[in-house]
Chains A and B, each alone.
Chain A
Amino acid sequence: EVQLLESGGGLVQPGGSLRLSCAAAGFSFSTYGMSWVRQAPGKGLEWVSAISGSGGTTYYADSVKGRFTISRDNSKNTLYLQMNSLIADDTAVYYCAKDPAGLRLPLDYWGQGTLVTVSS
């Protein structure tokens, strides 16, 4: 059974930093790409970033480019999102999702999400 468990969310001041983690289990982690998707309170879904299975290729939404960094540790089956220079608009639930883009498949498994609140 595929399991994705996010952690690291919380309250942070504008301009601050936070690192999210996503622990994966139940599939061959290094074989698949992974994505982060966020959802602001009461709003729709916004794709944030993706990384290939090897970690060698990354993609970012324009809204976070230069501020967020996606990475992974395949030895620990863990995905990360380093978030710097946070602004109020980054307030959202952040989901990690398995992203089999190489197989021409969409985001097929999602974690339960972790809430990030940017406020003074």
Chain B
Amino acid sequence: DIQMTQSPSTLPASVGDGVTITCRASQSISSWLAWYQQKPGKAPKLLISKASTLESGVPSRFSGSGSGTEFTLTISSLHPDDFATYYCQQYKTYPYTFGQGTKLEIK
């Protein structure tokens, strides 16, 4: 199975800050990487597919990059609504695997 490792696990930040979350795959997944946002008690929401393709309706302050084994999710200027938990996921092959999550919290 492909292991996905996210860092950091927790990220304290303030409104207006720019932040970056890193995701590493245990083997190359080309660009078959997705990012999800999850708020407490809610289902995950797809933000980015194919490492860098923003889903419709997702604000442009979100961006993704990377290929192979190293990926990043960047939020350029945090809004209050962005404080949530973020997960990366590889969909190159089954079993799909997720990173352990990064909780973006208010500093």
Chain B residues closer than 8 Å to A45, beta-carbon distance: 36, 38, 44, 87, 89, 98, 101
Is A44 in contact with B87, judged by CB distance below 8 angstroms? Answer: yes
B45 nearest CB neighbor, chain A only: A110
Q: How distant is the Cα of A118 from the Cα of B36 in the complex, in angstroms?
A: 27
Q: How many residues of chain A have a CB within 8 Å of chain B?
A: 23
Task: Name the one of B38, B95, B99 contacting A62, with C-beta atoms under 8 angstroms.
Answer: B95
The digit string for A101-115, where 1 denotes a CB below 8 A from any CB of B, is 100111111111100
Given A45-B44, A113-B43, A107 contacting B34 (CB threshold 8 A): yes
In the complex, which of the residues A35, A95, A105 has the most CB atoms of chain B within 10 Å of its own CB atom?
Answer: A105
B49 within 8 A of A: yes
For A27, the chain B residues whose CB sits under 8 A away are none
Spell out B's residues near A (CB within 8 Å).
1, 32, 34, 36, 38, 42-46, 49-50, 55, 87, 89, 91, 94-101
